Chain A
């Protein structure tokens, strides 16, 4: 069961209408290492992970939905006042033809999100290493997005999200050690 909290995890402000930046941000919305992929990856893996790290996968997976909402808010705010001409100039003309200003789970190139972006191997260490890699890849993309805009308000929210990737990666690394230690302990009689 999940319960919605009617507020963002961290404030999202933008200082200008910028549909091109919105298009780039879609990488973290419906991209391979984006927030949707992250949430669905962790919340699916938790059913076959050892008990000691189920809590962590549940909580990080849940936090990812809060990040997904922040990205959606950025895209919404950056495009809501955009004219058709501005959308076309930003490379979002095809999106407008399909769905007006609606959001869609696609990456920055317009490729729809697919479940093949995520894995569940059933091997705890393999799954956690995938999770660490996903966090590091998302962190890298956040840095590149920060580099692509001069909007300091937007940068502030993106920096928050970049830091969360670092913390999640750290926690997953600790989970790896917990599982290794647990295995060692079980060998001692």
Chain B
């Protein structure tokens, strides 16, 4: 396995993104059964914006998180590069 070197900040940044995404998963499921909760919806939209920014920063440094056009790629095609999630 030819894993590229991950810098010291990798795990902290990954965890930051996982925290944001977790809050968004929780709010999504909550809103699925409480669609009229305006406070929760405002929190959701605010975190969604934060998430977009954090994911962009992460991807600039460590490569695309999503494909099918949801993330950009440098040359050569970065999607196929390691590490995959179970390798870190």
Contacts and interface: CB of A to CB of B under 8 A. Distances in A.
Interface residues of A, number: 27
B32 A10 contact: no
Interface string A34-71: 00000000000000000001011001100100000100
Contact of A9 (B25, B28, B29, B33): B25
B35 to A, nearest CB: 9
Contacts of A8: 18, 85-86
Given A3-B67, A4-B66, A9 B32 contact: no
Contacts, number: 65
B82 to A, nearest CB: 10
A77 B70 CA distance: 29
Interface in A119-169: 167-168
Interface range for B: 20 to 34
Interface string B23-39: 00110111011100000
B85 A73 contact: yes
A171 B33 contact: yes
A97 B85 CA distance: 27
A105 to B, nearest CB: 16
Contacts of A72: 86
A76 B14 CA distance: 20
Contacts of B85: 6-8, 69, 73
Given A3-B67, A175-B33, 19 more contacts: A3-B68, A4-B66, A5-B21, A6-B64, A6-B65, A6-B84, A6-B85, A7-B14, A7-B65, A9-B18, A10-B22, A11-B18, A55-B32, A59-B32, A63-B25, A167-B29, A171-B29, A171-B32, A171-B33
23 contacts: A3-B67, A4-B66, A6-B65, A6-B66, A7-B14, A7-B85, A8-B18, A8-B85, A9-B25, A10-B22, A11-B11, A11-B15, A11-B18, A59-B32, A60-B29, A63-B29, A69-B85, A73-B85, A76-B86, A77-B86, A171-B30, A171-B32, A171-B33
4 closest Cβ pairs, A-B complex: A73-B86, A174-B33, A56-B32, A8-B85
